[in-house]
Amino acid sequence: MAIKWTPDLSVGVENIDEQHKIWFEKANELFEAGKQQRAKEYINQMIDFLDEYTKLHFRDEEAYMTKIGYPELDAQKKAHAKFISDLAKLKSDYNEGGGNILVIINANKMVINWLTNHIKTMDKKIGDYVKTL
Residue 79 lies in a domain: yes
Kindly report, residue by residue over 33-43, the tens digit of the pLDDT: 877 877 777 87
Q: What is the dihedral of CA 133, 20, 60, 91, to 10 degrees?
A: 150
pLDDT of 103-119, one tens digit each?
777 677 777 777 788 89
Under the banding of pLDDT at 50, 70 and 90, the label for residue 50 is confident
Q: 4 pLDDT band (50/70/90 cuts)?
A: confident
Domain-located, residue 87: yes
Residue 98 lies in a domain: yes
In sequence order, the 6+-apart residues with CB closer than 8 A to the CB of 34 are 43, 101, 104, 105, 108
- Does 106 fall in a domain? yes
Q: What is the pTM of this model?
A: 0.84
Parent domain of 72: 12-132
Note whether residue 65 is domain-resident: yes
- 11 CB-near residues (< 8 Å, 6+ apart): 17, 20, 119, 123, 124, 126, 127
The pLDDT confidence band at residue 76, using thresholds 50, 70 and 90, is very high
For residue 88, what pLDDT is reported? 87
What's the pLDDT score for residue 106? 66
Domain count, the chain: 1
Question: Has residue 107 been placed in a domain?
Answer: yes
For residue 2, is it within any domain? Answer: no
Residue 3 included in any domain? no
Q: Which amino acid is at 73?
A: L
Give the CATH number for residue 18: 1.20.120.50
